[in-house]
Amino acid sequence: MNNLSPEIIRDAWVEVDGTRLKDNFMAARRAVGKNVKICAVLKSQCYGLDCRTTAGIFRESGAYMFAVAVLSEALEVRQTCPYHSILILGYLSEGYYPAALDRDISLTMYRRDMIEALSAEASCRGKKGRIHIKVNTGMNRLGFMPDEESADIVARAAELPGIEIEGVYTHFAAADEADKSPTRKQAERFTAFIDMLKNRGVPYGLVHAANSPSVCDLPEYDFDMVRPGLLFTGTYPSTEVSRDRVRVKPALRLMGRLGSVALIPAGEAVGYGFSYRLEKDTLVGVLPVGYADGFTRCYSNNFYVMVRGERCPVIGRICMDHCMIDLSAAPDAAIGDEIVVYGNGDDGAITVEEAAGIRGTVVEEVLSNLSPRLPRVFI
């Protein structure tokens, strides 16, 4: 990449490999087969990558529809994809129904009063309120309980003016764990509820449940459509899922430029709180990436980056906008050198999956913590 690329407006950025995004999408497509639709989940800016650009890539690759968490994300995706279906997976208060209706955004419904309110608003505006019924099969976050009473509510909702049921879905809470029995229990509850809707003659549309981990491990739950998201970034949900059905490669790198090089004498300390003291004369570099970028303080004295193909430890506490690195392994490093912070699996750098392990968290948190102030540069 050109060091003076006009796309980069600061000396740290997220590099996104568009070809790998396409390849990862096609890997999911091959796994589920041509008869199963793909809903590309783009929440949290497509896990930190930029939802508008990735939506365009997945649209061209054959995504049937998109899913996001909140209305603002839906409106961003709509700019890139004016005709594709977009589903908001989370809660949306009634005051925002007009904005969603005007832009043909599909909404998740999990209460009778929500559906009735959307019906009234849609009827007044001469619009069609497109909805997906969420079923609570055990996660106990959002959703209708999978019982006869809820089936009756959905049956009545299907007859309301201005309402079109596009689908019914649930969310698996533990598909990324080694024990798949809780997921199977959720699936049993879900399919039992589908049978209740069938018995009432409800036109419930697409049936979908599979997230990224279940796409990896549980093909029996592909149903009519799957909802992968994290997989497209080229990272797996956990070490407990199979990597055989869907083979993906990391599509992003966190990059920065070396901003300072100084020889600091032995005995001196580095960074806030003097948490790291030099045992020998050391070439110390400064990287303009800090915890305000999502490069958390827990990496302090516990991480390495790649400089000129060599591993260089992060030393001292991570600052808000910078961190310091020991350049002993790359003594010829110069100001302006590109540094790989999070790697793509081929460059020797720590990947986001490995970074999640250091942080004791999930990959989704590492990715979604990447600050908006980091430019996203697609290659």
Q: Which residues are known catalytic residues?
A: 43, 272
Q: 282-287 and 323-326: which strand pairing?
A: antiparallel
How large is the angle between the packed helices 71-80 and 51-61, nearest 10 degrees?
A: 50
Angle at which helices 112-125 and 148-157 cross, to 10°: 0
Give the integer Cα–Cα distance in Å for 365 and 85: 26
Q: CB atoms < 10 A from the CB of 188, how many?
A: 12
CB-based contact 366:355 (threshold 8 Å):
yes
Which residue in the block uniquely carries the two structure tokens 């310091």? Answer: 324
Displacement of CA 77 from its chain's centroid (Å): 14
Closest of 101, 206, 115 to residue 152, by C-alpha: 115
Which pair of tokens denotes residue 186? Answer: 């959720």
Strand 276-277 and strand 310-315: the pairing is unpaired
In angstroms, how far apart are the furthest CA atoms of the chain?
79
Q: Which of 46, 87, 81 is nearest to 67 (CA)?
A: 87
Single-letter amino acid code for the residue at 270: V
Cβ–Cβ under 8 Å, residues 244 and 207: no
Contact 50, 233 (CB under 8 A): no
Q: Kindly calculate the radius of gyration of the chain based on its CA atoms and give it in whole angstroms.
A: 24
How far, rounded to the nearest angstrom, does the alpha carbon of residue 196 sit from its chain's CA centroid? 33
